[in-house]
Structure 1
Amino acid sequence: MIIHAARLSIANLFAAETRKVFWKVLGLTLLALVALWFALRSTFVTFVLPWLQSFMPPVPDWTNWLTFLLAVLAGLGLTLLLALLISPITAVIAGLFLDEVAEVVEKRDYPADAPGKALPFAAAMRSSLRFLGVVVVGNVIALLLLFIPGINLIAFFLVNGYLLGREFFEFAAMRFRSPDEARRFRIKYGFTVFLSGLVIAAFLAIPIVNLLTPLFAAGMMVHLHKLLSQKEARRI
């Protein structure tokens, strides 16, 4: 079921019906990452670097290579920080585009089913911002574990698998259920949702490709919710 949902979502990425939202998601994600990069770099150069230099004694000119080395290390640190922030950025973008992605998936793959109901904009943004905070905290924990060999990658997948799986699934479920019903439905199939979240986390770990994480994750969870709902209906 999970592999089937992931395969359908990948197919949707390249479907003609998805092309419009594809470019919007990709463009907005790139724009957000570029803006965040310049904001982080400006903050470092304007505030952090002068503060660090205030603790350093004067050095001879021949040690300018040391300043260059520190600049390179700072650049690598900012890149790592930006990579860790991709996950919360995808959460915010997903809140803006999930309903549009869901509508495309539902019309394309489930034309006989009743369409879902889009979340009100205010409710979608509240949910996205709430999840943004949760993901930031989760990734800070993963960052702290980054320096423990053998645990860092496991922490990345476990944290992002749980958080991304939970939020994207509840987004998809709330098109057909109340928030409380969506949460209970997610808890009922919690292990399946978590495993699906691990697939999303694996997608997120692929450089460049991970810019499409919101589109992939939203489509996958729409399919998963549909498949689980059909399973539930057969059981009843």
Structure 2
Amino acid sequence: MPQLIAMVIVVVGAMIYMFQTFGGTGDKIEGIAQKTSIITEINNIKDGVKIAAKSGQIAATAKDDKVNNLKGLASLSYFAEQINAQLTDTTNNAANANIYNAISFGGGVITGADNNSDMQISLVTPAVSGTVKRTPGIFVDFSKGGLKTNAAFLESQIANDLSAVAFIDRTSTTATAKAGVINDAGSAIEKRTPAIGKTKQDANGNTVADDPTSAELGDGKFIIYFKDFGSDEVVQ
């Protein structure tokens, strides 16, 4: 009997933990399984972007052999065959030239202007800031399709998992970098990574960091700037 009581206590404790951690819903548990595929898709794009940046082929404005969107990189075969094929498909709507619809979540060619794919990834190409060439970013959006139910949970999980290897701007809603850099007096990577978050004026008129809203933290849209991009892996 004591063993049975102990077993019941363990099971009940586990159920309480699951409820507190995942909100008591199957959606959150499913979200953990989805997270692995999301990070894999992000890394698939990151690898191609990193190589292209090192080759000097990413620019804020396309010119000569330099490109400024995912379709341009795919035309140069910087990604896996399936990704290249989707992005360069002649029936793909022009509005999706800088959007990769993650294959892991059923993404494919979109012939119309409306794109409601579950997970969309875009290239962020910040222009030169003063004399500083900045690091390219990866914009992730799962607010439109089947992942939007778990958008807040997934965004939080991805941001937490990648926090050691990337700067993440959870206040961004488009594939557009903010002006300036994270810290022009900071580390080498901070000096070339676009600014993240948002700012406000304090009572003394000084520009200070502003806290993101709960809506911004849970909309399923964010930009990732990986910290392992070197000084020669920047946007031209």
- The alignment's TM-score, normalised by the length of structure 2, stands at 0.27
- The alignment's TM-score, normalised by the length of structure 1, stands at 0.27
More strand by share: 2
More helix by share: 1
Larger RCO (CA within 8 A; separation ≥ 6)? 1
